[in-house]
Amino acid sequence: MSARPRSAIVTGGASGIGAALVRALVADGAHVLCADLDLAAAERLVAGLSGPGTARAARVDVTSAEEVRRAVADVVAEHGRLDLMFNNAGISLLGDTEDLTLEQWDAIIDVNIRGVVHGVHAAYPQMIAQGGGHIVNTASMGGLMAAGLLTSYVMTKHAVVGLSLALRTEAASRGVGVTAVCPAAVDTPILDKGELGPVRGRDYFLKGQGIKRPVDPDVLAAKVLRAVAANEPLVVEPVQARIAWRLGRLAPGFVLRSGTRFVEKQRAAAGGRAAPRSG
């Protein structure tokens, strides 16, 4: 008898890492709900997919606990359970912290932290009740290391890593796995949305992490699915990111000084301080 196809939800599934996860899951035979605030983009993505699995689009605002709860309930009603919950939706802000407005702070907290909490709150009890499942939270290298001019984003991604690792210790005895995804710069539209004066987000994210080329989102998605199968706690990609992370743990003072110098270079290139831009 063949294995039952897994059911999955991917938030922020219409583009970037989320879209790559949807593609990988469908190719792996899963039934996927591609949840995104941009319904038209989600529909375009799923219309172009083919594979042993299936996907459908739904408009879901992760800042609404009720919309996330309803998405989980819909998948459970359709498939009898929810096997995989990918809390992937996120935004970034690039710029000096003193220029952030409270509205910007609220926006990034609502999406990057509360959006993940809403996914966990809706999916985790269901997975306990059904006797298993896996939660995958998209964080960032910014959740493992500090990066100036990206302070609000770093704060939220540290929260996601902390939530994931703490929940993992609780969830293990309930048959539920938890993984945090912590990539360096990934080749998604977010790289080109944030900017600090003339300094493009792509320039900041690549040079700041010592990476010449961003991570291919489809390569990352494949590694995430392998990590889920192996029940790994963290996915840190690429290899340069793992090296930087280990260096930061062994020589935090050196990494802090290097980061400080990098921030000053970015400010100088931008001609001084600039208001944060969203991405």
Q: Which domains are seen in the chain, by residue range?
A: 7-190+215-241 (3.40.50.720)
41 or 92, greater pLDDT:
41
**242's tokens:** 């793992």
Residue 148: per-residue pLDDT = 87
Q: With 60 as the cut, is the pLDDT of residue 2 above it?
A: no
Residue 197: per-residue pLDDT = 43
Sign for the pseudo-dihedral over CA of 243, 244, 248, 254: positive
SS3 274: coil
CA 97/CA 50 separation, integer angstroms:
44
Q: For the segment 89-104, what is each residue's pLDDT rounded down to a tens digit?
A: 999 888 899 999 999 9
Residue 119: band (very low, low, confident or very high) from pLDDT cuts 50, 70, 90: very high
**22's tokens:** 């949807």
What residues act catalytically?
153
Residue 225: per-residue pLDDT = 98
Q: With 90 as the cut, is the pLDDT of residue 269 above it?
A: no
- β pairing state of 31-36 and 54-59: parallel
Residue 200: per-residue pLDDT = 54
Running DSSP on this structure, what letter comes out for residue 184? S
Tell me the mean pLDDT in the region 36-65: 97
Least confident segment among 151-155, 204-208, 242-246: 204-208
Q: Checking phi first, is residue 60 left (phi over 0); if not, alpha (psi -120 to 50) or beta?
A: beta
Residue 140: per-residue pLDDT = 94
CA 24/CA 222 separation, integer angstroms:
6
CA 3/CA 30 separation, integer angstroms:
11
Q: With 50 as the cut, is the pLDDT of residue 3 above it?
A: yes
Residue 276: per-residue pLDDT = 59
Which percentage of the chain shows pLDDT scores above 90?
A: 67
Closest by CA to 31, choosing from 49, 7, 3, is 7
Contact 229, 221 (CB under 8 A): no
The most confident of 19-28, 186-195, 257-266, by mean pLDDT: 19-28
Residue 240: per-residue pLDDT = 83
Question: CB neighbours of 276 closer than 8 A, spacing ≥ 6?
Answer: 93, 94, 95, 96, 99, 100, 104, 152, 194, 196
Residue 210: per-residue pLDDT = 60
**CA-atom Rg of the chain in angstroms:** 19
Q: With 90 as the cut, is the pLDDT of residue 244 above it?
A: no
CA 90/CA 96 separation, integer angstroms:
20
Q: For the segment 145-190, what is each residue's pLDDT rounded down to a tens digit?
A: 988 888 999 999 999 999 999 999 999 999 999 999 999 888 876 6
pLDDT mean across residues, the chain: 89
CA 107/CA 152 separation, integer angstroms:
10
Q: With 50 as the cut, is the pLDDT of residue 20 above it?
A: yes
SS3 9: strand
Least confident segment among 18-22, 30-34, 134-138, 238-242: 238-242
Q: In what order do the strands lie in the sheet with 234-237?
A: 54-59, 31-36, 7-11, 84-87, 133-138, 176-183, 234-237
Q: What secondary structure does DSSP assign to 205-244, as a single string?
A: HHHHTT-SSPBPHHHHHHHHHHHHHTT-SEEEESHHHHHH
